[in-house]
Structures are given as C-alpha cells and as structure tokens.
Amino acid sequence: EPKEEDAGLWWEGVAPEDEIGVGEYCLHFSPLLDHDANTWDTRLVATATLCLHRKAPPAGDHGTGNAKAGRRIRLHAIGVVVEECSLKVVSAEEKTIPIETVLYNDDVEQLCFVLGDDLPEATPAQLFIKYHTRIYKDDEHRGVYVVQFADRPATASTEQSLSTLGDEGNDESNSEERMVPGLATHFEPVDARRAFPCIDLPAHKSSFLITVTAPSAYDVISNMPVMSQEEDKASEEAVPLKTVRFERTPRMSSYLVCWIVGKFDFIESDIILPYNTDGEKKDTPLVVRVYTPVGEQEKGRYAMEMADMSLKYYSQNFECGYPLPKLDIIAIQNLDALAMENWGAMVFLQDFTLVSSETPLSRKQRISRLVFHEVMHQWIGNLVSVKLWKYLWVKEGFARYLEYFLVTGFFPQWHYWDHFVAEIQTDAMKRDEAKWTHPVEVEIANPRDIVHVFDMISYGKGASVLRMIASYIGPTVMWKGLRMFINKHKHGAVSTEDLWAALTAAADGAVDINALADSWIKASGHPILAVRQVPSDEASTVTYQITQHPSSELLLFPLSHSCTDQLSVPLFIRTAPGVVARVQGSSKWINADEPAQSTYSTQLISGTDTTLTFEFKDAGAPKQWWAILNANRSGFYRIYYSSEILESITQGIRQGQVAPEDVLSILIDAFSTETASHPDLQVSTHAFLDLLEAVSQMPIDNQASFAESSTLYVWTQVAKILNYWVHSLLADDVSVLDASTSAAFAAYVSKLYAPLMDVLTLVPTDEREPDTVTTLRGSVLSQLAVCNAPSSQQQQPQQPQQPQPQQRQRQQQQQEDTARRHKWVAAQAPLVAKYFAAQQSQ
C-alpha cells in the first residue's frame, strides 16, 4: 500500500480519459445461476483485457501536472473488486510492468492501478483484470440486473407441443406459465462502470469483444452476431453451461454495450438498405430481429415493420448506411425507460413492443414513435455520439423531433404534429416556465446528476427548437445539414456548435444558425410575444406591434435564472384566407395563386419591440382580417393577442377559416396568458369565453374518424381548460360564484360540450378505442357531473409518489399552482358573473 500521505496524489491532475486511451475491451462475464433456488448469485465474476496506451500530456503541461501520472492507470468503476491483474507492454520484449496495488475512490467513481514502473507514452499495452462486481436486484435496473422471463414446462412430445399452438404461435395449452430469472444490462448514462472498469464517457470510443458464459437453456444476445458457441462440458456446475462469443463491435461508447441472458422467441426479416456506411449508394443487407416472450413472436411483427420502414428511410435520407450486420429489438419486462438504443441490440419495455389485434390505436402510435426514436439513435447517438453529456439534447432532441417527423410522414391520417404540439411542446413549455427549469444545454459537475437532465427540457424543448429551426430553413436544408453532420462526424463525437455549423453550411450561409438558435439552447425560458394592432401610416395597411416578454412573467414567483436576453424569433405568419397579403419589405405574398407561394410566410424578428406592417395586393385593408403569427405552432414561444385581434380570429373560427392546428395553438396560449401574473398579458374573460364558444361550433368528425383527426386535440385542450375552470369555480372548497352565476356557467359548459358528446357517446363503442378518446370522455363527464351538482365536493385524484428529487420539484410546482389558482379565482369570479349577467340581459 502507498504511504497514507501519498495516497491522495494518485487522484490528482488531469482526468483519466486525458491520460489513458483504450482501443479495445475483451470482456468475459460468468454469472452463476442457482437452479434450485431459481435465482442468480449477486456476485458477477468477470475478466477484462484492455488494449490501451498512455497519452502524451495535454499541451502546455510538459509533464509537470503530476509526477505520478506515468505510474498510474485510472479507470471508472463502481463496486468493482479486483482479484488479479497484470500489465504487459506489447513490444518485441513483451515487458511486464508490475502492479503494486489497486486503489479505490468512490467519490470520483474510479479505481487506480499503481504501477511499479512508468508506462511508456504511445506504447500499446494490455491490462488484464480478473474481478467481481454486483448483480442488481429489487427494481434497481442499472448495470447488470435481474429481469424475469416467461418460461413453459416441457411437453410430452414435439407433436403435442405443436398441436397446442394457435394461429399466432401462442401456447393455448393448459400448462401454467412460470417465470425464470434472466439478466439484462442498462448502462446509460454512466453505469457501464458498474459492470467493468472502463473510460465511461460518450466521446471515448472503443471496440468490444464480448463473451458470456451462461446456462445452456438460456438465450444470450449482445450487440453483435454470435461468433462461436461452445457447451462447457468440463463445468462442475449443476446447471449445464455454454460459452457464447460475439463478433467485435465497431468503435462505440461504453454506455451502448449490451448483453442479455433470457428466454425468447423471435421473428426476423432481411432488408436491403440503399447506402453503406462509407456513404456509397450501394445495396447493403441487414438482418432485423424482434425478440419476444416465448410463444408471442407474432406480436412483434408490428415493431419489426416499423423498424424496417425507419431503417430504410434514415439510410436513404442520411445517405449513410447502418454499420452493424444486425439490429435487434429485445422485449423485456423490467426497464426504467421505455427503451434503450444499445447499438445493434435495442431493449424495449415489453408492453411497448407487442401488438395484437386487440391493441388500441394509441398504443400502436406510441410503439411507432418509440421504434422511430431508437432507430434514429443508431445514427445520431451511436454512430455520431455527443462529446459530453451536456450535449445530450443533440441526440435526444433530434430523436424526439424525427420520431414525429416519420410518424407524420408514414401515417398522415393521424395528424401527429398536433399530438406533438398538445403533448410534447406544451409540457416542455410548462416545465420551461417552472422555477426549477434549466437550459437545454446544461453544465453537469457530478456524474450522478446526469440522469436528471433526461427530462422534458432536453427532449421536448430540444425537439421543439429543432422543429422551429427546420420550419424556418425548410426541410430540404435541414436534411442536407443532417447528411453533412452525420457523414463528417461518423465514428466521432460532436457538440452543439458542430450541429449549428452543419446546418449553416447546408443553408449556404444564408442563415447563421448559431446566431439564431444558440441562445434558445443556452438560456432558460422562452419568449412571450404580446401582439397589438396599432394605427397604420396608410389606410390600406394593417400594423401589428410586437413586444417580447420573458416567460417568467407568466409566474407568480420571479426566477433568478430566467432568460432576460431578447431572442431572435422566427415568426410563421398565416393570414385570413382569400386575401393576398405580405409583410412590407418581404417579396413573398401569402395566399397568392402562384404555385411557388404558400399559405404562410416566415419573418425573423429580434429586440424588445418590433412593428410588422401588412400590405394587400388587390385592395386596401379588409374590415374583417387577422394574422396568426405562429402558424402550425412551429415556434417555441407563446403569443398574447390583444382583445381586438383575438375577436377577429374568433370570428374566423366561427366562419371555419382557421385551421384546427392553429385553433389548438391559440387555445394553448390564450389559457396560459389568461392565467398570467403580468397584467399586460392577460386575455379578457369575455374574449376567452367567446373563444371557447366559437371553438365548440367547429365541425366534428364521426366517432370512427374522430380519434384520427386534428379536432381530437382541439377538444382535448378545451377539456383541459374547462376542467381548470369548472373545478376552480364550482367546487365546494372555493365556492366563489353566487347561485345565479353558477347556474349560468354550468349551463354554458353543458351547452359547449353538447356537440362533442353527440360524437363521443356516454360509453365506448369500440374495445380498441384510443386512450386519448377514453381520457377525454372521462374528463368531460366528470365536469358535466360537477355542473349538474355544483355543490358536491370534488375529490382531486391523488398524484402517485414521485422519486427524489422529482418529488420535491413536483410538490413545489403544486404549491405554486395552488397559489396561482387562488389568485386567478379571486380575479375571475366577478368577471365571470359580469359576463353571464351581460349574456342574460341580451
């Protein structure tokens, strides 16, 4: 052991990845199964051979940073206990360097091999380690952990077994299903170090040769195809064993390593991709498999079809092939996430893999999104990795954005961008308006904090900002930029700046993406644009004044870290149909007949105050005219329209002139600004209730097509808004309306929901009804029950317990929401009474 006063010196100086490079890991895992107890030994025995080299000191160091640097090898590790180790320099002499001791430091999650001599710089060496580590149980789904698999007892004969299979290959016999324990791995973001000593960082890429010794009755899967499999006849274990060796992986990050020991059936398809990894347009074969529980392989066919479609699409549009010879989707029961993109061996939660004839549409939609997301990671995330975890949003934001891009492209009848707006973007905005938000790109000091940025900001806000940029520069430029990005950085690692550079180059310098987008990523919050119509210099024009506010002005409590800088904001302008108009200074006419023109135009604004003046091609300014400044809700910002503009848009909704996706956007923003703390951003109660009434008059599809229409998302938003109003104004604990106003408001709500209930009906008529429709019906019926009996006490559903620190954040958010609600109720009660009094007098 080193002297106590010297022990700390072994941890000083540069980070391990700056001293040691690992070119290849040879890993052999030997888990032990107690067959009688039907459980795994908690100690995982393994060996690792690391082909490594010592790096030259960083520029300017000149070897003075730490005199011990040449006599140490530091690796990331948690719970790894070294039993034997040796170090051999790969040279003609094959010199062995003695290892004096191994030190452990749990604070930095590292171990240190103290060498008896200096390891020469840039000289290949092999570090052999025999060690044991922990197999995790009890719902700890990290590192190597236990997962349950379905098994069936052996039948009397093969013929009898085959005779019990149904049309879908499912066992219809009376034999009881039993569960057997298997093993799975989950290493993202920093848990590979729990399974083997390594440089556990996304930018540090190495190849892996993986070997697993496991019970012969189990299937063993890893990132690459099986290279060899041998029965271990010499084993003294009670359970027969086999040793499975897998082919060498491409260079990849440690968190993508995967091996699974379980019981599966599978289906497979052989597909042809149009490009190889070198970017050559050349047919490239690929085997796609879906591993399912025993006997349920046909239920994996839908997921396999989604994988086939997305693989071909990404390869074609990235102009880059998939570099591995196979891609698996592996369904398991125990996983904290819905899926994990391990290269070549994607792991999915079982409930989000299997599809039968009874599976509702909403579950199939979710599975489609999930497959498109994880397959995209095979390129951005795996082939092109992030340099540091602070750039997590680059891979996760793009995966979330492109999953919706593909779903909308393959299934346009689902109107899935509306789902993105209603669920992903809206939730991301709410999180971005909370006290405990953070920038999309956030510095991370402690590796244990990385997991906390796998959240709606990195995924949802990141995807929303990318969608805004793509809408501004156009899909052609976006895909060109992605092609440049992937083919330049494949097998490497990237930062945010690398992405901006690729998109700017794709735009041929016409747009500086870094100047446009970087502040959106590196600051918390987002803009609120207050839009008012002001007198124009000319009678033939209409002028809008736009004032940019930070989103913190929606809150009752100030933020110390909110975005105070004025952002560059792309506007997406759609105007009343039938009138050809344009922004002064723009060459693009909106609603023009020319095929090259479109129904909306883009305009980039910046600064606190901006003036937009619209001019009209054929005549002067029409009396009834409006402009929506965030068409399709393409931008990640809210818009407050003054009462005058909102009334014009409301009239347009009554006349069927406003597209459902724009109605959805207006509802979302009107409700958020209606509850704002800033007095200049509050929509009048009269205008807001008129807006809801106009929306209720929009045509509704019949029940069969309602679930696949944009109208579903509009009504879902209406229900969210009215749920807030009903339970705030009519519940016993905050009874603030007099009897007359309560009755008038209840009648208003009932009348508003009448056309919807004509379509929904009181009970489902289809067992496969999507969850979205079921949830909407439940919310509406709950509100109507309150309206029919406003004096009844409304019990709010209990929120499930959240893990720390999310539980503390949730409690804090609930307290803020309660304070906001009480303030809102106090302000709204007299205004609601005034509104219905005016209605009755009319």
Predicted pLDDT at 683:
81
Single out the residue of 535, 546, 593 nearest to residue 573, CA to CA.
546
Give φ, ψ of 653 to 5 degrees. -65, -45
Q: pLDDT: is 9 or 358 the higher one? A: 358
Single out the residue of 516, 517, 471 nearest to residue 631, CA to CA.
471
End-to-end CA distance of the chain: 92
Read out DSSP for 775-818?
A: HHHHHHHHHHHHHHSTTSPPPPPPPPPPPTTHHHHHHHHHHHHH
CA distance 334 to 349: 7
Q: Is the dihedral of CA 831, 835, 841, 842 positive or negative?
A: positive
Residues 575/583, Cβ–Cβ less than 8 Å: no
The four Cα atoms 557, 560, 561, 562 give a dihedral, to 10 degrees, of 50
CA distance 93 to 49: 19
Read out DSSP for 441-452?
A: S----SGGGGGG
CA distance 563 to 526: 7
Residue 371 burial (C-beta neighbours within 10 Å; 0-12, 13-18, 19+): buried
Instruction: Provide the percentage of residues in the chain whose pLDDT is more than 70.
Output: 85
- The DSSP secondary-structure symbol of 839 reads H
Describe the crossing of helices 301-318 and 392-410 by its angle, rounded to 10 degrees: 110
Which of 63-72, 367-376, 698-707 has the highest average model confidence (pLDDT)? 367-376
Lowest pLDDT segment from 2-11, 120-129, 444-453, 538-547:
2-11
pLDDT surpasses 70 at 698: yes
pTM to 2 decimal places: 0.89
CA distance 36 to 386: 45
Confidence of residue 563 (pLDDT cuts 50, 70, 90): low
Confidence of residue 173 (pLDDT cuts 50, 70, 90): very low
Q: pLDDT: is 70 or 115 the higher one? A: 115
Q: State the residue for tokens 């809206």.
A: 426
Which of 55-69, 74-88, 782-796 has the highest average model confidence (pLDDT)? 74-88
Angle among Cα 493, 498, 501 to the nearest 5 degrees reads 155
Q: pLDDT: is 836 or 398 the higher one? A: 398
| Mean pLDDT in residue range 246-270 | 97
What length is written for the chain?
A: 842
Residues 776/712, Cβ–Cβ less than 8 Å: yes
H/E stretch holding 747: helix 739-760
Residues 155/102, Cβ–Cβ less than 8 Å: no
Active site residues: 374
Helices (H) and strands (E) in the chain, counts: 21, 33
Confidence of residue 63 (pLDDT cuts 50, 70, 90): very low
Single out the residue of 818, 752, 756 nearest to residue 787, CA to CA.
752
* Sequence-separated contacts (24+) of 596-602 with Cβ below 8 Å: 599/574, 599/631, 600/572, 600/573, 600/574, 600/575, 600/631, 600/632, 601/572, 601/573, 602/471, 602/472, 602/570, 602/571, 602/572, 602/573
Tokens at residue 796, please?
Answer: 């709010």
| Mean pLDDT in residue range 441-459 | 91
Predicted pLDDT at 2:
45
Strand 72-76 versus strand 81-89 pairing type? unpaired
Lowest pLDDT segment from 77-81, 196-200, 619-623, 753-757:
619-623
| Mean pLDDT in residue range 397-426 | 95
The region, left, alpha or beta by phi > 0 then psi within -120 to 50, assigned to residue 808 is alpha
Single out the residue of 307, 418, 424, 409 nearest to residue 368, CA to CA.
307
Predicted pLDDT at 317:
96
Residues 261/183, Cβ–Cβ less than 8 Å: yes
pLDDT surpasses 90 at 551: no
Lowest pLDDT segment from 401-410, 750-759, 828-837:
828-837
How far is CA 276 from each of CA 225, 323, 372, 478, 766, rounded to the nearest angstrom? 19, 7, 20, 21, 45
CA distance 316 to 708: 28
CA distance 638 to 573: 14
pLDDT surpasses 70 at 565: no
Q: State the residue for tokens 């050559």.
A: 280
Q: pLDDT: is 699 or 174 the higher one? A: 699
Chain mean pLDDT for the chain: 86
The amino acid at residue 257 is V
